[in-house]
Amino acid sequence: EDQVTQSPEALRLQEGESSSLNCSYTVSGLRGLFWYRQDPGKGPEFLFTLYSAGEEKEKERLKATLTKKESFLHITAPKPEDSATYLCAVLGGSEKLVFGKGTKLTVNP
Amino acid sequence: SAVISQKPSRDICQRGTSLTIQCQVDSQVTMMFWYRQQPGQSLTLIATANQGSEATYESGFVIDKFPISRPNLTFSTLTVSNMSPEDSSIYLCSLRGEGTSTDTQYFGPGTRLTVL
């Protein structure tokens, strides 16, 4: 059974204080690992797809990396508008997207 | 990526009633999905709805409770039947990308349902 574990559950940062979110996964036949951002009461917003170990993708202050067992979402010099819940999900041979419980990020000004 | 819209965006309903949620996409897609997100929880897949075939439900979800229609490649509905307070959740429509991004899933804005 595919599984995704995200840590920490919640993270508080000061504006400008860089950090990383972790996503550990087990999956049969990885087809892709996905990062989403979700604001309260809204649907998840797609950020990145990673397909193979060693792959990296960047978007503004966010950088996602992938190994064979985990993915990291690095946040550089975050701003208060980066506050959201960040979701990690994997798609494997089951054809079903499996989500972690998310990391709630709060960035204080 | 395709633009996904849902109606209604939110609703407050009485127990025992039913609500139909609509999902409209601005392009034709093969695979559509319905998810539930209970308060403070992550997303749980309810069913997969492909045009021209019966929806496939996940364990714990049944057609009598969550009937789904998929009349064409741009539209789907999810009905939450005989509602109870435990059905209070955000319901999300999702599609899988076509063409070069066939594995990436995109989500609608969600329908926030409160059952009293």
Query: CB of B61 within 8 Å of any CB in chain A?
Result: no
What is the mean predicted confidence (pLDDT) over A47-52?
A: 94
Q: Supply the pLDDT for residue B100.
A: 60
pLDDT score, position B104: 86
pLDDT at A108 over 90: yes
| Model confidence pLDDT, tens digit, residues A55-76 | 999 999 999 999 999 999 999 9
Which one, of B107, B98, B95, B105, lies nearest residue B33 by Cα? B95
Which pLDDT score is estimated for B37?
94
Distance between B40 CA and the closest CA of chain A, angstroms: 9
- Average pLDDT for A24-34: 94
* pLDDT class of A52 with cuts at 50, 70, 90: very high
Kindly indicate the confidence band of residue A30, based on its pLDDT and cuts at 50, 70 and 90: very high
Q: Which of A41, A105, A58 is nearest to A78 (CA)?
A: A105
Cβ atoms of residues A35 and A87 within 8 Å: yes
Interface touch A99/B109, C-beta < 8 Å = no
Q: Where are the domains of chain A?
A: 3-108
- The domain B18-96 is placed in CATH, from the list 2.60.40.10, 3.10.250.10, 2.40.50.140, 3.40.50.2300, at 2.60.40.10
pLDDT mean by block of 10 residues, chain B; 116 residues: 92 97 93 92 92 90 96 94 96 84 86 96
Q: Does B30 touch chain A (CB under 8 A)?
A: no
Superfamily of domain A3-108: Immunoglobulins (2.60.40.10)
Q: CA–CA separation, B50 vs B29, rounded Å?
A: 9
Residues B39 and B37: their CA atoms lie apart, in Å, by 7
Q: What is the pLDDT of residues A71-98, one digit of tens each?
A: 999 999 999 999 999 999 999 988 889 9
Confidence at residue B77, expressed as pLDDT on a 0 to 100 scale: 96
Q: Is the pLDDT of residue A33 over 80?
A: yes
The answer to whether residues A75 and A82 touch, using CB atoms and an 8 Å cutoff, is yes
The average confidence (pLDDT) of chain A is 95
Q: How far apart are CA B70 and CA B23, in angstroms?
A: 10
**Environment class of residue B59 by beta-carbon count within 10 Å: exposed (0-12), middle (13-18) or buried (19+)?**
exposed
Q: Which of B31, B41, B42, B111 to mutate to test the interface with A (most CBs of A within 10 A)?
A: B42
Cβ pair B79, B21 in contact under 8 A: yes
